Amino acid sequence: MTQTATFAAGCFWGIEATFRQIPGVTDAAVGYMGGHTENPTYEDVCSKTTGHAEVVQVEYDPDQVSYDDLLKAFWQMHNPTQVNRQGPDVGDQYRTAIFFHTPEQQSAAEASKQALEASSQFDKPIATEITPASTFYRGEDYHQQYLAKRGMGSCHI
């Protein structure tokens, strides 16, 4: 039986592509979470008025990949010290966040964040918010597997 994990780490195209490459991930979909607007569109989210983050909702087989392994991948695929941005993308929709679905995920996310902070890997504080998952609004079809559809490996340089 699969489980669900949801992460925000900047532009969702590259994050989705990266999670799809992890053995044990059975699906990954881009969408929006964490805001107050129901059924937002990409344009709504880009207006910076919805409160939503661009997220990737990951379905995974815990017998093949652990939530801790997904957290490790999450920390490696973006800069968790940046507030409301990743690279050239700026706005609250690009914030770094872990949306937990269970108390176990919350504990694991908090422990992994604390371990990363203690590691002194970054000169700045970790900005990643850890918050309860709310309604996942699936992104438009043209955003799903965006990079794969275009034969691209990543979004940015």
Options 5, 8, 9, 11, the catalytic residue = 11
46 catalytic? Reply is: no
pLDDT tens-place values along the chain, 157 residues long: 999 999 999 888 789 989 999 999 999 999 999 999 999 999 999 898 999 999 999 999 999 999 999 999 999 999 999 999 888 788 899 899 999 999 999 999 999 999 999 998 999 999 999 999 999 999 887 677 766 666 666 555 4
What is the sign of the dihedral through the CA atoms of 45, 48, 49 and 52?
Answer: positive
Distance from chain centroid for Cα 111: 17
Pairing, β 137-138 against β 25-33:
antiparallel
Contacts of residue 148, Cβ cutoff 8 Å, sequence gap at least 6: 17, 20
Secondary element (H or E) of residue 14:
helix 12-20
Radius of gyration of the chain (CA): 15
Per-residue pLDDT of 9-26, as tens digits, reads: 988 878 998 999 999 999
- Closest Cα to residue 83, out of 65, 100, 95? 95
Please tell me the class of the 3-149 domain. alpha beta
Domain ranges of the chain: 3-149
